[in-house]
Chains A and B, each alone.
Chain A
């Protein structure tokens, strides 16, 4: 079974709107990672939030972590068309990283 799972499966917003992707995970973690994968490319890390952190920001991105409910969220403000991508959360376990199935985000002009 998946150690991490994003929801919703897909999202569509218009440019300038804000959007949030949620993640639930099943293991104890040292950190929760968020990745973005654009079409035809490999994923790239956006934010790493450690288990002792509750919030992390990176420009227009904001990640939260709630270890008690084993959940995380990634919010993007002022979305742009170039934010169109699949967003994954990932957890580490025994020095390996496990990805969820991803949320497909489409940002329309």
Chain B
């Protein structure tokens, strides 16, 4: 069975500090990977997606970057956090057919 693990579960960070969020998928070879962001009570905003190692497409510019260093790993990062980065970050995967997206449990980020 496939599993998706996100870390950390929650973060409180200062404005201007760096950030790194991670996601690992086990049990699935060559998944499509996604990062989503949700403001509190807000919509699911797709940030990045990746169909293969080393290749990441940006969907929305939010002063964030993403990388896929391994087939099963997806990293979201920034060097300088903004207050507007606060929210709920979700990593997800799907197969090539994209008939279902499987989400991680998310990371709650609070920027102060």
Contacts and interface: CB of A to CB of B under 8 A. Distances in A.
Given A96-B49, A99-B44, A42 B98 contact: no
Given A43-B101, A95-B32, 20 more contacts: A31-B99, A40-B106, A41-B105, A41-B106, A42-B92, A42-B105, A43-B90, A45-B100, A45-B101, A48-B99, A48-B100, A95-B97, A96-B32, A97-B98, A97-B101, A98-B46, A99-B43, A99-B46, A102-B43, A104-B41
Q: Interface majority SS on A: helix, strand, loop or mixed?
A: strand
Contacts of A104: 41
B52 interface: no
Bin chain B's interface residue count: 20 to 34
Interface of B: 32, 41, 43-44, 46, 49, 51, 90, 92, 94, 96-101, 103-106, 108
